[in-house]
Chain A
């Protein structure tokens, strides 16, 4: 079992839909949780960062961490065609220097 599991999709939604992206993980020591967006042939771009459990909101994006279930989510409200990209979850423990990434979920938002 990989440390971080993420359904690769693809996920296709119409413009304006609410999108839910998820990752599960096995290492209970993970404390830092990130979501990255990666457009085709580009490097990952940090979208959201959460420390430990809880919710964080930034505009149309909400990140949730449930450490008891080892489950993290990213919600995108009012999705736009420009949101079409691959979304990567990533996490690390308190002392670690390396981020552990999921495989990424490919999202397509149609207008």
Chain B
């Protein structure tokens, strides 16, 4: 599979729990983005990595959200003390150099907080 892979595809968790969402970008892509898409809405930007570093994390809604990309490939989005309002589809995209015109999205992780 040459596309962006996100796991799990679905995650149900209880309010207050911690969750990790994983993104495997296309091999060789240096840029990686996380977006969140609520029902009936367009994707909203969360964070952008160029290599291992977070070049822009201005979209993270609060300090319960954190993302890492330690080796410049796989990224993990971490959400602490989940709230029902965190329920959404979390999308990951990667591109070869940061140009969003060549960004490919994964299928997303559907997070439901009950």
Residue of B nearest to A36 (CB): B105
B100 at interface (Cβ–Cβ under 8 A)? yes
Residues 75-91 of A, flagged 1 when their CB comes within 8 A of B and 0 if not, give 00000000000001010
Nearest CB in chain A to that of B6: its residue: A43
Question: Contacts A41-B107, A103-B40 known; A97 to B91 CB distance under 8 Å?
Answer: no
Q: Mark B1-21, 1 if CB is under 8 A from A, else 0.
A: 000100000000000000000
Q: Once A and B bind, how many residue pairs between them come within 8 Å at the CB atom?
A: 56
Q: Distance (Å) between the CB of A94 and the closest chain B CB?
A: 12
B105: contacting residue among A44, A49, A103, CB under 8 A: A44
Cβ of A43 and Cβ of B41 under 8 Å apart? no
Query: When A43-B91, A97-B56 are in contact, do A49 and B42 touch as well, CB less than 8 Å?
Result: no
Cross-interface CB contact of B4 among A43, A49, A102, A103, cutoff 8 Å: A43
New A-B contacts (5) at CB < 8 Å, excluding given A44-B105, A88-B43 = A4-B42, A32-B100, A43-B105, A98-B58, A99-B100
A–B complex contacts, Cβ < 8 Å, 30 sampled: A32-B100, A34-B100, A34-B101, A41-B107, A41-B108, A42-B107, A43-B93, A43-B105, A43-B106, A43-B108, A44-B91, A44-B105, A46-B101, A46-B104, A49-B101, A90-B42, A97-B48, A97-B55, A97-B98, A97-B100, A98-B33, A98-B59, A99-B43, A99-B100, A101-B42, A102-B42, A103-B40, A103-B41, A103-B42, A104-B42
